[in-house]
Structure 1
Amino acid sequence: MRRAAAGLAGLLGLALGATAGTASATELKVSHFMSPMHHMQARVLEPWTQNLASEAAGDLTFRIFPSGELSKSPVAQWKTALTGVTDIAFGLPGYTTENFPRTMLTVSPGLFETAAEATDAIWDNIEDIAPDYERAKLLALWGSEPAVLMTRNTPVKSLADVKGLKIRTADQVSASIIEAWGGTPVPLPASEIYTAMDTGVIDGLFIDPSGVPSFRLDEVVNHVTLGLPTPSSAFFLVMNQSAWNGLTDAQKALLDGVSGRQLSLDSAASYAKEAERGMDILKSAGKDIVTLNAEAQAEFVEATKPVADKLVADANGRGVENAADIASALGGKN
């Protein structure tokens, strides 16, 4: 009887031990508003989470929620991370510029020529930019290739050609640029561009070429203008602070080891690769590719100068006393 009781106690102990081991595993929710076929999920988020889960040996797992499953609004991705709707969110600071006055300095028009250049500049100055993210754990922050101007019916070869055009913009910076050029900015998330172009709600759009394959823009645009003083877009990957605080020291070390600058550069590289693919699609489809001549470029550059000054003034107005210094360190002319 004693042997039977001892055996039962041993089995119970094993069961409890197994339950305790399972209970210690942590699953993190990763959310974004893009399609599950979007290049960021396929080339960055899936390999990143799979690598982390493998390194954690079952102690840490991830579940990706694409297509706005946890929050339909592209604008709300930052909020979903802050409030714990998700543990990790991928989104754009430009959708809620008031929260990111320092980050907005990184999207000054004409500042960078490539996604890698933008991302390196961000991380070279991350201590000055990081206060924008103090309410969350910043995992990655990167820039895209510079935006291009795409239109349906009107080829843009000079500043005068923009006058009166309704142009989709993603953020206040792009809106300020379009206004400076004489156009009318129409703020829309990328997911609404196709329908707006197809129905004539907008005449054109401001976006980096990575958006072409993601949103089938080759079907609704006919003209593409290159050589403009345009901004890159900034993107973040952030983690809910309570979720971060709840990790073990080992789990935190694991996440830190594969986040930061390198994850940001990997993300930027994905955007650059997709932008190249986007331009190839446009060229293969026979779209009109306009490269501005020097005189036209100078017109656009001159008209755009006040936008960079306004970015610094806006940041100052939101309490960023060293905004001019940050802009200068990033490569700005202020």
Structure 2
Amino acid sequence: MKPLRWLGNALLITCLSTSAAFAEEVTLTVHHFLSPKSNAHTKMVQAWADKVAKESNNQIKFELFPAMAMGGKPSELYGQVRDGTADIVWTLLGYTPGVFPRAEVYELPLVHNGSAAATTIALNATMDMLADDFKDIKVLFLHSNDGNVIHSATKPVRTFEDAKGMKLRTPSRTGSWVIEGMGAEAVGLPVPELPEAMSKGAIDGALTTLEIVPALKLQELDKYVTELPDGDRFGTAIFMFAMNKDSYNNLPDDLKKVIDNNSGMKVAADIGKMWEEFEQTGVDALASAKVERIVLSADEAAKFKAANEKVVARWIEESKTKGFDGAALVEKARAAIAEAAK
């Protein structure tokens, strides 16, 4: 009987140990800058958190804080996740200029070609060449939107010359170069501040997406939106969903696996597709408000392309002072996007 008693006790201990391992609950904070009604919050951040919670048998729980509810400014989100003020953040790389120099390659016009799906897959597929930018945090995934168009509350932009002298909000450092290349003035603003700046006439408009229109009610402020032909864009913005390193490393292995199964290339295609689909809500809002959408002629688009070629060349030249080969990154990023688009 003793061997059986020993076996029974061993099984009991094993069951109790397993139960204890799975019984550990972790609550993670998630902080970002857009409203709780935005596509980013309801369809991406909330959906991701719900999926992770379910797959962890609710051992991972989340407290979501949209609209900077934990305090600070959008430009401080990276610092908050790096330092552990927040466990996870969703933020725009362009809010911290110079911190992510390699990842900027995917923001560039003539690199990003208007597809959130292709650029998002490429971003996550080439993390090895971007890794030095993110050494202080745990990247869960990177993504883009479909890209920037010109929103205007004051005048139509039908030609390259029409943009000259306008004040346009920029989403990033490279976006500023795109705007300057048009002969316009770039104004740095977090996107939540855009509606007030437009309504007060502090700026003429913005270089931003169609997707963001409903969340910021830009259909009430825009009079014109100018786009390049064939779905091309004036560059894009790159976002990251990232976790504090200690918050990740302190998880037990089984919960790390759940996070890993919802990160990187395992979610890139779905996230990219999601952001392509988001754009239709902006298109519909502009149509309902009868905002004029202008598609540039081939001749005028060529003028913008020439200006944007100078932006890419400037970025490559600047990279020489930052310790990496910008020309090689441009080539690799274009190849990765082309591969992802197949």
Query: Same fold per TM (> 0.5)?
Result: yes
What's the TM-score, normalizing by structure 1?
0.89
Deviates more, 1:307-316 or 1:165-174: 307-316
Give 1:21 deviation, angstroms: 7.6
> Which of 317, 324, 328 pairs up with 2:327?
324
Give 1:208 deviation, angstroms: 0.9
Against the structure 1 CA distance between its residues 232 and 262, is the aligned structure 2 distance closer, same or farther, given a 3 Å change threshold?
farther
Give 1:244 deviation, angstroms: 1.0
> Which of 231, 234, 256 pairs up with 1:230?
234
What's the TM-score, normalizing by structure 2?
0.87
Give 1:316 deviation, angstroms: 2.9
Give 1:95 deviation, angstroms: 1.1
Against the structure 1 CA distance between its residues 287 and 28, is the aligned structure 2 distance closer, same or farther, given a 3 Å change threshold?
same
CA distance in 1, matches of 2:99, 2:51: 31
1:299 aligns with 2:300: no
Is the Cα contact below 8 Å between 2:177 and 2:311 reproduced in 1?
A: yes
2:58 aligns to what SS in structure 1? coil
**Partner in structure 2 of residue 132 of structure 1:** 133
Give 1:267 deviation, angstroms: 2.9
The number of equivalent residue pairs is: 315
Is the Cα contact below 8 Å between 2:110 and 2:309 reproduced in 1?
A: no
Q: Which runs of 5+ in 2 are unaligned?
A: 1-16, 336-342
**Amino acid aligned to 1:141:** L
CA distance in 2, matches of 1:226, 1:252: 42
CA distance in 2, matches of 1:223, 1:58: 47
**Amino acid aligned to 1:159:** F
Is the Cα contact below 8 Å between 1:71 and 1:77 reproduced in 2?
A: no
1:235 aligns to what SS in structure 2? strand
2:143 aligns to what SS in structure 1? strand
Is the Cα contact below 8 Å between 2:124 and 2:141 reproduced in 1?
A: no
CA distance in 2, matches of 1:191, 1:72: 13
Is the Cα contact below 8 Å between 1:136 and 1:240 reproduced in 2?
A: yes
Is the Cα contact below 8 Å between 1:229 and 1:304 reproduced in 2?
A: no
CA distance in 2, matches of 1:154, 1:179: 18
1:98 aligns to what SS in structure 2? coil
**Partner in structure 2 of residue 79 of structure 1:** 79
Give 1:185 deviation, angstroms: 0.6
Is the Cα contact below 8 Å between 2:32 and 2:68 reproduced in 1?
A: yes
Q: Which runs of 4+ in 1 moved over 4 A?
A: 20-23
**Partner in structure 2 of residue 9 of structure 1:** none
Against the structure 1 CA distance between its residues 316 and 102, is the aligned structure 2 distance closer, same or farther, given a 3 Å change threshold?
same
2:68 aligns to what SS in structure 1? coil
1:142 aligns with 2:135: no
**Amino acid aligned to 1:253:** K
Give 1:46 deviation, angstroms: 1.6
**Partner in structure 1 of residue 255 of structure 2:** 251
CA distance in 1, matches of 2:58, 2:215: 33
Residue deviations 1:270-305, cap 9 Å, x none? 322221210121122211111111110111111221
**Amino acid aligned to 2:156:** P
Give 1:139 deviation, angstroms: 0.2
**Partner in structure 1 of residue 218 of structure 2:** 217
**Amino acid aligned to 1:277:** T
Is the Cα contact below 8 Å between 2:149 and 2:233 reproduced in 1?
A: no
Give 1:132 deviation, angstroms: 1.0
**Partner in structure 2 of residue 49 of structure 1:** 49
Task: Provide the aligned C-alpha RMSD in A.
Answer: 2.0
1:308 aligns with 2:312: yes
Give 1:141 deviation, angstroms: 0.3
**Partner in structure 2 of residue 63 of structure 1:** 63
**Partner in structure 2 of residue 199 of structure 1:** 200
2:138 aligns to what SS in structure 1? strand
Give 1:263 deviation, angstroms: 2.7
Give 1:61 deviation, angstroms: 1.4
CA distance in 2, matches of 1:218, 1:68: 24
**Partner in structure 2 of residue 24 of structure 1:** 24
Deviates more, 1:178-187 or 1:32-41: 32-41
1:197 aligns to what SS in structure 2? helix
CA distance in 2, matches of 1:229, 1:29: 34
**Partner in structure 2 of residue 279 of structure 1:** 283
Is the Cα contact below 8 Å between 1:33 and 1:72 reproduced in 2?
A: no
